Amino acid sequence: MKRTARTRLLAATTVALLAAGPAAPVGATQHTAEDPNRAGVLHLDHGTAQGWRTDRHLRLVADVGHYELAADARSRADVIGFGDRGVHVSFGHADGTLSPSDLRLADFGRNQGWHPERHPRRVADVDGDLRRDIVGFGERGLHVSYGNRYGSLNPALGPERTLQDFGAAQGWRPDRHLRRVADLDGGGRAAVVGFGDDGVHVAVHGSARSSGEFSPATLRVADFGWNQGWRTDRHVRELADVTGDGLLDVVGFGDRGVQVAQGRADGTFSASALVLRDFGHAQGWRVGRHPRHVADVNADGRADVVGFGHAGVWVAHGRTDGTFGAPSMTLRDLGEAQGWRSDRHDREVVDLNGDGRAEIVAFGDAGTYSSWSGFDGNFAVATLDLRNYGWQQGWRPDRHVRRIADVTGDGLPEIVGFGERGTLVTDWLGPHG
């Protein structure tokens, strides 16, 4: 089935619990109810108490096996943890619990020399077999472990079999270059996309499944790179379908504003163009202060810009020609003026109920807030939905990871928080869903 660009982007982000309960074995689950209306399930693994650290261990949430496991064929998100010994997986269940963590692959871990600050790792289907694979950007180049049935993983193939590019040996550095894995054309195979020194490079997997062979990386856009003045600590770069044609475009928040290079059916891109003189460094937007997202907030199939500025939330709607409309402030909240800080409060933009409109989920001081988008793309007043996962409950961005994913397979996402005691899964949407 051909997936939309929006689905592809959404488909490939813990209060420390203050009152410690009875000791339980690693991997067990406990039901918690800090909020009587939002009971959560605590899985005693992948948390600080089990030795997991944000500066050592990457933790992701994606479906790596339940689509084939589930009798109803519903996709359920699983926990994928890149620990000291390798890749650990806990499968999501319909009741919100997680299976005991299992070491699925003795690779991509700290003991094998992988480090979060140096070696990005992604989970995506690169060979088009409908199973998620692990893609790692290592010292010598690209490493791939292909997914098998029921969530098992093949031994990783090294750069000699995959691609000797995008690694440290080829000059790629996390403080200079971004590396992504995304399905650019909706064909079912995720490509490797790198923002390098001279621009945007792309490498695509060969037609043979699990072959390990990628095409040589080619320069697709001579912009958005280090040589053109783009910096990771100054500029945001994303992949999103701005025009609504099912192809991903390059969207960059640069010095002068928003630049776009439109994706083409043959895998190339148009030359980049400045399409909006806003949301850029010259207009006062800063990476460490003002989060900027690209998501469809009005269900027209085109990605919009959502920026959390000083005074609140600004939105600029995408147009079919690849430009954006004039920005408008849609919510005087969730900005610096209201006390929100990037080093304390994570803010995400994601479709919570499958209606095609992305909502705002914000982890504030008092807990978890949501702001729902209307048909006009404006956001409603933010409401406190859950007194958990916030600063006052002990959650810290530099210590705890919070992600939004559908663990139960009911079509509505849960909050998955990697906290002090373990992994907390909360079904929190209530009447909104």
Residue 428: how many other CB atoms lie within 10 Å: 26
Q: What string of pLDDT tens digits covers the 433 residues of the chain?
A: 333 443 333 333 322 222 222 233 344 433 333 443 455 899 999 999 999 999 999 999 999 975 444 445 568 999 999 999 999 999 999 899 999 999 999 999 999 999 998 999 999 999 998 889 999 999 999 999 999 877 789 999 999 999 999 999 999 999 999 999 999 999 999 999 999 999 999 999 987 776 778 999 999 999 999 999 999 999 999 999 999 999 999 999 999 999 999 999 999 999 999 999 999 999 999 999 999 999 999 999 999 999 999 999 999 999 999 999 999 999 999 999 999 999 999 999 999 999 999 999 999 999 999 999 988 889 999 999 999 999 999 999 999 999 999 999 988 999 999 999 999 999 877 444 4
User: Model pTM?
Assistant: 0.89
pLDDT at 65: 73
Cα gap 297→286, rounded to integer Å: 23
pLDDT at 33: 34
Closest of 119, 177, 121, 185 to residue 153, by C-alpha: 121
**Residue 49 zone, left/alpha/beta (φ > 0; ψ -120 to 50; rest):** alpha
Straight-line distance from the first to the last Cα atom of the chain, in angstroms, rounded to the nearest whole number: 26
Full DSSP string of 323-378: -BPPPEEEES-SSGGGT--TTT--EEEE-SSSSS--EEEEE-SSSEEEE-B-TTSP
Closest of 314, 308, 221, 323 to residue 267, by C-alpha: 221
Closest of 239, 231, 279 to residue 256, by C-alpha: 279
Cα gap 140→58, rounded to integer Å: 20
DSSP state, residue 173: -
Match 């939309």 to its residue by tokens: 4
